[in-house]
């Protein structure tokens, strides 16, 4: 056999099967990072952020007292901790799952009410269901009464997309 007939030896060929097994295991194992458990104050702050609808300063004052100095800056520092951010996300995800309502499901239900109302001849109910769907999506917008008069008319703004609109 000449040198040309022999297969080329690579670095992978030099690794024995005993050495190759740990490498294969290392490639298949994903690294899992665990953050240290939150303190009582951090847990309370995460809950306060949700309760205060994201108002960082109010959540910080709710957790650490109203006399706290620089609540916004200290609250932002707490929000930078990944464990606190994950806690807030897990709580909001659980609340969304538990609510069992979404805009899409709500609109579908209103469309079903509209269709049933049309079939049974209850046009007033069908109109109100369709109007509610439009308000939920944002097509119809209610405006406040002007001058506090008895005028009960509702102004309706309909926004239509143009074929020349860049976003279409």
Q: What's residue 168's pLDDT? A: 44
pLDDT at residue 17 tops 60: no
pLDDT digits (tens, 9 = 90+) for 81-90: 989 999 999 9
What is the model's pTM?
0.44
Q: What's residue 28's pLDDT? A: 54
Q: Are 48 and 77 members of one domain? A: yes
Q: Is residue 20 part of a domain?
A: no
Q: Are 91 and 125 members of one domain? A: no
Name the residue with tokens 């538990």: 98
Q: What is the CATH number of the domain that holds 66?
A: 1.10.10
Q: What's residue 134's pLDDT? A: 78
Q: Are 64 and 87 members of one domain? A: yes
pLDDT at residue 13 tops 60: no
Over range 131-138, report the average pLDDT: 77
Q: Token pair for residue 81?
A: 């901790």
pLDDT at residue 70 tops 90: yes
pLDDT classification of 118: cutoffs 50, 70, 90: confident
Structural domains counted in the chain: 2
**Least confident span in 16-20, 107-111, 115-119, 141-145:** 16-20
Q: Are 60 and 87 members of one domain? A: yes
- Nearest Cα neighbor of 76 from 84, 65, 87 is 84
Comparison of pLDDT for 43 and 159, the residue scoring more: 43
Over range 100-104, report the average pLDDT: 67
Q: What's residue 161's pLDDT? A: 54
Comparison of pLDDT for 124 and 14, the residue scoring more: 124
Q: Are 107 and 120 members of one domain? A: yes
The residue segments making up the domain with residue 54 are: 40-99
Q: Are 88 and 120 members of one domain? A: no
> To 10 degrees, the CA torsion angle through 59, 65, 70, 72?
0
């Amino acid at each position: 056999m000449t040198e040309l007939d022999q297969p080329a030896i690579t670095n992978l060929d030099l690794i024995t099967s005993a050495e190759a097994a740990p490498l294969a295991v290392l490639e298949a194992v994903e690294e899992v990072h665990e953050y240290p458990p939150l303190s009582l104050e951090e847990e309370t702050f995460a809950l306060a952020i949700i309760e205060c609808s994201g108002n960082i300063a109010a959540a910080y004052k709710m957790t650490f007292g109203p006399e706290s100095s620089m609540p916004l800056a200290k609250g932002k520092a707490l929000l930078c901790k990944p464990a606190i951010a994950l806690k807030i996300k897990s709580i909001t995800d659980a609340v969304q799952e538990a609510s069992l309502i979404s805009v899409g499901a709500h609109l579908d239900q209103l469309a079903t009410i509209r269709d049933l109302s049309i079939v049974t001849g209850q046009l007033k109910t069908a109109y109100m269901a369709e109007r509610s769907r439009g308000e939920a999506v944002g097509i119809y917008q209610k405006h406040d009464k002007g001058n506090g008069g008895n005028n009960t008319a509702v102004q309706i703004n309909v926004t239509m997309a143009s074929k020349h609109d860049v976003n279409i």
